[in-house]
Each structure stands twice: as structure tokens, then as C-alpha cells.
Amino acid sequence: MIQRIGAQTIVWGEDIRDHMDAILTFLAATGFQGIETGIRHFSLDRYQSYREIYQKTGLALLGIHSGGKFWEPDQAGDEMKKIKGTVSFASRVGSKYLLVSGNPNETVASMQAAAATYNELGQRCLDAGIGFAYHNHHWELVNEGAILNVLMNETSAELVSLVLDTAWAYIAEMSVETLMRRYGDRIAYLHIKDVRQEKFCELGTGEIDHDATISLARSYGIEWLVVEQDYTSLTAEESMRANMRYLRSKGIGENE
């Protein structure tokens, strides 16, 4: 199976909206094949111009990440109304998935309460012709992944997928192999980054065994490894070049 390399644009911080064209051109030239970006970096009335950028660069828009307190019972209804435009934009611009993240104060009980909302959001995305995925952090994975397990068990596999962040799994001391064994058929793609003393760093400079992650991803048919470099001591460009060099050294992102 050919495994492909994507990029989350987060490492460019607040420069993304004003420099979207230059950033995507750089990523494509560096060898990245797909991207993920936060919704706040888009102008929602410019979806056609973004489509043209993706067509020009050849980049696949893998996901658009959106905020929203969907876990709050008294706010979920309002959040669902507000996200209507985001779902429409994600569909029009050609995104494969709409992503959300959860609540740092999440509990098993609060996730049980939120599951119906995530199902509803997944249905809205499905109706719009796109997928819906939940992006984990570490808090869902403590206690052997109890909170994430509730989400996966209480939602429909057709409606809710998972963007599995392997670095947050490492921080939570949760086995990626166990997570893939549990949820492999629901994983949309991976977020991949490295960790050194609980701080993120460029791939190959930290503590994570990426060879094992890459092998597991291949065995579970996971096509996309998306580099999410939350922050860096380098420039954004230097950081993403370093990440690309590392993955290329592993034979990822090239024809197999």
C-alpha cells in the first residue's frame, strides 16, 4: 500500500489566513500530498478560490478542524446551529473530513451525554457528502482509553471516525497498537509528531518509535500520516522540511 504524507498547517500560527497560497505552495513543493487546516483560517465566502489553490498545488484537503463546545448539554444546540455554515463550507471546498476535538475536563459520563450530538454532527456531514472525525488528545486515553472507548461504542461507525494522534497517545501512555486493534476500521488518518520530555519536537528527534507506528498503519490500511507540528523552535518551513526528510527516510510518501 502507498502511504501518503499530509501536513497540518498549525505550525504557521496566525499567519495561515493571510499566507494560505504561499504556505500550500511550499508544502506541495516540499513533497506533502495533503493538508489539514483550522476553519478559523478560511474566509467562508472564498471557497472557490481555495479549490483553485488545491487544484493548482495538487494537494488533497484531508480535513478542516472546527471548534465548538459540543460536550456542553446547554450549549450543544447552539453549537449545532453555528456549525451549519462550517459543514457547508467544508463540503463546497472539497474537504474529505470535518474534525472536532473534545473537552480537557471530559469524563466518561460527559462523553456518554455528548455521543448523541457527535452522531448528529456526523449525520449532517454525511448528508453534505463529507466525513466527520474526532481528534483525540491525551485526556480521552487515560485509564486505558475509557473516554475514547465510550465515544467509539456510543456512536455509529458510519457517522463518526477517528483521527488518531499518536503523540498524545504516547503522552497518555496508551499503546497505539491497542488503539489500532480496537478502532482500526474507524481511523480516518493519523496525526504524527514526536515527543521529548512531554514537549513536541520534530520527527526523529524525540522518544516515539515511529517505525512501529508506520508499520501498524500499513497493516491496518491507513493511507495518510499527517504531520501536526504544534510548535517549533525552528521556522515553520525548516520544521516541515525536517519532518519530510524523516518520513522520506522511512520510505513514506513515494511510490511503492
% of the chain residues with pLDDT over 90: 90
- Quickly list H helices, 94-154: 108-127, 142-154
For 109-123, write each residue's pLDDT tens digit.
Answer: 999 999 999 999 999
Asked whether residue 251 carries a pLDDT value surpassing 60, the answer given is yes
Domains of the chain: 4-249 (3.20.20.150)
* Chain centre to alpha carbon of residue 104: 17
Tell me the residue type at 29.
A
**pLDDT band per the 50, 70, 90 thresholds, residue 82:** confident
Please state at what angle helix 47-57 crosses helix 84-93, rounded to 10 degrees. Answer: 40
Pairing of strands 194-196, 199-201: antiparallel
